[in-house]
Amino acid sequence: MSGARFRPDFRLWGLLPAWVIMGFTLILPIGIVVLVAFGTRGAYGGFGWGFSGASFQQILFQKGWTEELEFNPQYLEIIARTLWLAALTTAICAALATPVAYYIACQPPKRRAALVYLVTLPFWVSMIVRVYAWLIILGNDGVIEKSLRAVGLVEDIDSLLFNNTAMLLGMVYSYIPLMILPVFASMEKLDGTLIEASHDLYANRWVTARRVILPLARPGIVAGAVLVFVPCLGAVLEPILLGGGKQMLMGNLIQTQFGGGRNWPFGAAVAVVLMALVMLVLMINALRTRPAGEAAA
Amino acid sequence: MTPRGKAIEVKEVSKDFGTFRALESVSFEIFDNEFFTLLGPSGCGKTTLLRMLAGFDTPTTGSIHLHGRPILDLPPHKRRVNTVFQSYALFPHLSVEQNIAFGLENLGWAKDRRLARTAAMLDMVHMTQFARRRPDQLSGGQRQRIALARALAPEPEVLLLDEPLSALDLKLRQAMRDELRQLQRRTGITFVFVTHDQEEALDMSDRICVLGQGRIQHLGTPNEIYEDPENRFVADFIGETNFLAVEVLEVTGDRARVRTPMGLEVTTFQKGAIAGQKAMLSLRPEKIGMEDQATGEVMRGRITNRNYMGGYTHYTVDVAGTEFRVSKRNAVTHGQSFEPGREVTLGFRQDSARVLGR
């Protein structure tokens, strides 16, 4: 009896360490970022106390010669490019990961475990090293250029690096395991007799994939899409290394403002916009999956 | 009965799983409009055979024809057969209606024809009011009906049923038996039914194919299989029986004269008996009379055990060291029951016993 009375208290106190850690490492830093975003720019970097919306204004407008506000699409373009690349990465990851996940799910259990292990293997290597590897593959005199030359297809090619495609490639490569794993998890649960039933009812392979396998794997694909899309929004390494800093994304825009740009309030403002976008994606997902999840349960 | 067309011909079908031979040169024919049952213990190859008809398994050797056309080269989605799966395998993401229409859409039926057929199927299985439900909102019996409707909707040449009643509780199973049988008569579609439940098979089938150890043990009507089993396996698997090791004295046509361990000489129908060799005499428990019903060959014994089953009582009677199972209907002798330990007279007619050489 005393244990039962004690439990509600313990539930509160037991969670305290988690609350403290969350407070200090998540909520407090976010608060600081928001505070900085509304602050003023310091003379030598840093920031000054105050309250000004100037940094957010700077995302959309720039001051002309006579201090009048002119619309400046420069940063909007970066935000749009970030969203576009993240969406494209997610779509490509989903398209590539679904057949891979299905293949793995169809293997005998022992082989399945080995293949899943192989999918997670890249996580054991530092992200920087993995992205850097693409510099060697795509770069001047890189693996691709050399082999193309060896086959005699080309004499000399312009650099394959430092463009949107290179960034996209790097992002797909970095985040595809995050898509494969949840899709695999939902396909592994798929009842094989449903596929047989589909064939039995005159559906060929493609119809079965479209009408049975994909709808049943949808929760996995949605989970994977969130896992890929959200980190893609904040990608820093790919635009710096593979985009060469020429193609800005929000991630390296923020990094530049805090680093070289020495405009902390502006960097913080972009970061707040980024966080808002992430929140939006997560909220849409939560609203979308709830009714579907109830129907599937 | 008028001669009927052959719906399915299975010719010398064998199946190996590695070194294990699951089916050994199995041949049989299934006629149009027939309720045909594949009956056998688990692992006898009956499900493998059904999966071969559906196209999910291929025989190692042999051929299968559907209405005269070889089908082994056709993938499952090109065979005009449909399956009712043991687990029903209803698509969880589709409504009842959409489940039933699934096959029709793949066959390219026009929308109005599809809707009419789906509605007719729902009506046939009395599930019209559940059309928009999802499978997980249905009970086991309701799912069973939808699985049936879904498989019958595309008007298959043959309907395959893989132990469809095994997941239902007893009362429901009884009701579904009658419903299945009626459905088969009404639609006129050939049913191939797989089960390990002999009672189900006897109740529903036109003909039963008893499979054991990968071979056909007996193929015949329920009556033939129960009354005149081909061999000991069939006599033992279908219903209950007493086996007496006997010596075959003489074989004349379909009859044999044998001597029991008690020294009794019996002349009756035989299968596979060879004069001078050992055989088994099979005697069903309900064919042995007790006390005032003991007629024919009479023996004295002592009751050693009694199992009261409601409608009838099973007795175990010891006759000079040989145990007999005797079944007695309780309706005839109201309230009369024999206590274990009591001396009783048993009797059986010679022609109700069967001599089985194999």
Burial class (CB in 10 A: 0-12, 13-18, 19+), B96: buried
Q: CA A13 → CA A2, A4, A28, B29, distances in Å?
A: 17, 15, 21, 74
Mutation target vs A (from B85, B96, B158; most A CBs, 10 A cutoff): B85
Domain limits, chain A = 73-262
**What does residue B14 show for φ and ψ, rounded to 5 degrees?**
-125, 150
Residue-wise burial string across A156-168, b where 16 or more C-beta atoms lie within 10 A, e elsewhere: eeeebbbbbebbb
Q: Residue A111: count other Cβ atoms within 10 Å of its Cβ.
A: 11
From the list B87, B106, B154, the residue facing A193 with the nearest CB is B87
Specify the DSSP class assigned to residue B14: E
Chain A residues closer than 8 Å to B56 by CB: 196, 199
Contacts of B211 (CB under 8 A, 6+ apart): B26, B38, B39, B40, B44, B45, B46, B49, B217
| Cβ-defined contact of A191 to B77 (cutoff 8 Å) | no
The predicted model gives A216-242 an average pLDDT of 89
Nearest CA in chain A to B87: A193
pTM value is 0.81
For residue A61, is pLDDT > 70?
yes
CATH class name, domain B6-232: alpha beta
Q: How far does the CA of residue B38 sit from the closest CA of chain A (Å)?
A: 20
So what's the pLDDT on residue A296? 41
Token pair of B286, please? 């309900």
So what's the pLDDT on residue A7? 63
So what's the pLDDT on residue B27? 93
Distance CA B311, CA B303 (A): 19
Nearest C-alpha neighbor of A180 from the set A240, A76, A254, A93 = A93
Q: CA A196 → CA A49, A88, A267, B98, distances in Å?
A: 67, 34, 55, 17
**What does residue B82 show for φ and ψ, rounded to 5 degrees?**
-125, 155
So what's the pLDDT on residue A43? 67
Question: Cβ(B238)–Cβ(B202) under 8 Å?
Answer: yes
Chain B residues closer than 8 Å to A204 by CB: 75, 77
So what's the pLDDT on residue B333? 57
Distance CA B322, CA B302 (A): 11
Is B229 in a helix, a strand, or coil?
A: coil
Nearest CA in chain A to B156: A201
From the list A196, A207, A215, the residue facing B89 with the nearest CB is A196
Distance CA B278, CA B293 (A): 30
Distance CA B213, CA A285 (A): 55
Strands B190-195 and B158-162: what pairing? parallel
Tell me the residue type at B191.
F
Q: CA B68 → CA B9, B10, B63, B71, B159, distances in Å?
A: 8, 11, 11, 9, 17
So what's the pLDDT on residue A57? 82
Chain A residues closer than 8 Å to B154 by CB: 201-202
Among all chains, which residue has been given the structure tokens 């463009």? A163
- CATH fold of A73-262: MetI-like fold (1.10.3720)
Mutation target vs A (from B47, B74, B77, B163; most A CBs, 10 A cutoff): B77
**What does residue B214 show for φ and ψ, rounded to 5 degrees?**
75, 5
Q: How far does the CA of residue B82 sit from the closest CA of chain A (Å)?
A: 6
Distance CA A32, CA A28 (A): 6
| Cβ-defined contact of A207 to B106 (cutoff 8 Å) | yes
* A224/A140: higher pLDDT: A224
Distance CA B254, CA B269 (A): 6
Interval A139-178: pLDDT, tens: 777 778 778 888 877 776 677 778 788 888 989 999 999 9
So what's the pLDDT on residue A58? 83
| Cβ-defined contact of A202 to B154 (cutoff 8 Å) | yes
| Cβ-defined contact of B89 to A199 (cutoff 8 Å) | no
Mutation target vs A (from B52, B106, B162; most A CBs, 10 A cutoff): B106
DSSP string, B55-103: TSS--SEEEEEETTEE-TTS-GGGSSEEEE-TT----TTS-HHHHHHHH
So what's the pLDDT on residue B117? 95
Tell me the pLDDT band of A289, cut-offs 50, 70 and 90: low
Q: CA A191 → CA A113, A188, A260, B58, B341, distances in Å?
A: 19, 8, 55, 21, 56
Distance CA A162, CA A245 (A): 8
Nearest C-alpha neighbor of B310 from the set B331, B284, B341 = B331
| Cβ-defined contact of B83 to A296 (cutoff 8 Å) | no
The mean pLDDT of chain A is 85
Spell out, as residue ranges, where chain B has pLDDT lower than 70.
1-3, 332-336
For residue A80, is pLDDT > 60?
yes
Nearest CA in chain A to B108: A202
On the CB side of A246, CA atoms within 13 Å amount to 10
Domain limits, chain B = 6-232, 240-356
Mutation target vs B (from A187, A200, A212; most B CBs, 10 A cutoff): A200
Q: CA B74 → CA A199, B64, B218, distances in Å?
A: 12, 11, 30
From the list A202, A204, A296, the residue facing B103 with the nearest CB is A202
Q: Residue A15: count other Cβ atoms within 10 Å of its Cβ.
A: 11
Is the Cα dihedral A23, A25, A28, A33 positive or negative? negative
Mutation target vs B (from A201, A207, A214, A294; most B CBs, 10 A cutoff): A201
On the CB side of B345, CA atoms within 13 Å amount to 9
Among all chains, which residue has been given the structure tokens 């089916």? B23
| Cβ-defined contact of B82 to A201 (cutoff 8 Å) | yes
Q: How far does the CA of residue B92 sit from the closest CA of chain A (Å)?
A: 7
So what's the pLDDT on residue B266? 85
Interval B321-358: pLDDT, tens: 888 999 888 876 555 678 888 888 888 888 888 988 88
Q: How far does the CA of residue A219 sit from the closest CA of chain B (Å)?
A: 12
Nearest C-alpha neighbor of B291 from the set B283, B282, B302 = B302
| Cβ-defined contact of A199 to B87 (cutoff 8 Å) | no
- CATH fold of B240-356: OB fold (Dihydrolipoamide Acetyltransferase, E2P) (2.40.50)
% residues pLDDT > 90 (chain A): 36
| Cβ-defined contact of B77 to A202 (cutoff 8 Å) | yes
Query: Three-state secondary structure along chain A?
Result: CHHHHHHHHHHHHHCHHHHHHHHHHHHHHHHHHHHHHCCEECECECEECCCCCHHHHHHHEEECCCCCEEECCHHHHHHHHHHHHHHHHHHHHHHHHHHHHHHHHHCCHHHHHHHHHHHHHHHHCCHHHHHHHHHHHHCCCCHHHHHHHHHCCCCCCCCCCCCHHHHHHHHHHHHHHHHHHHHHHHHHCCCHHHHHHHHHCCCCHHHHHHHHHHHHHHHHHHHHHHHHHHHHHCCCHHHHHCCCCCCCCHHHHHHHHHCCCCCHHHHHHHHHHHHHHHHHHHHHHHHHHHHHHHHHC
Chain B positions contacting chain A at CB under 8 Å are 54-56, 75-78, 81-83, 85, 87, 89-93, 102-103, 106-107, 134, 136, 150-151, 154
Token pair of B353, please? 């016993």
